[in-house]
Amino acid sequence: MSATLDLTVETRLEELDRLSAAVEDFGAEDDWPPNLTFQVNLVLEELWLNVLNYGHDGGDHEVDIRLTSDTEALTIEITDDGKPFDPFTEAPAPNVTGDLGDREIGGLGIYLVRTMMDEWRYKREDGKNHLILVKRRIG
């Protein structure tokens, strides 16, 4: 049996707490282990902040988020009407080996998504960015 959470979050910083609380509540209802809740919250925060900071030239916009969870996997779908951007092919690779003081600021968010999720893909459809992420819960 699967559980689904549909959430629309505006691109305003104060919405981050609502997003995080919704993920925590959904994870608790679906009996997620704490590390899964942490990873999902971190991934969503990073991607949502990218939309907030870089996706638009101004004004309030909405980001649609759907979480679908079953015993085998969690699927995260994120849809926004921001500028076309495939973070998995267009974002520069971050420096993860140098001294912290020598690294450029930014770029770690997509690296974390790739590290924490098992699958990720992007498509541009109907004038919107669509990210699909999968985290396997078994194996």
pLDDT tens for each residue of the chain, 139 residues long: 799 999 999 999 999 999 999 999 999 999 999 999 999 999 999 999 999 988 988 888 999 999 999 999 999 999 999 999 998 888 766 666 666 566 555 567 888 999 999 999 999 999 999 999 999 997 5
pTM for this prediction: 0.88
Yes or no: say if 117 and 43 are a contact pair by the CB < 8 Å rule. yes
Yes or no: say if 136 and 72 are a contact pair by the CB < 8 Å rule. yes
Residue range 3-136 forms a domain whose CATH class is alpha beta
pLDDT of residue 97: 66
pLDDT of residue 107: 63
Which strand (E) or helix (H) includes residue 44? Answer: helix 34-54
- Supply angle C-alpha 132, 138, 139, rounded to 5: 105
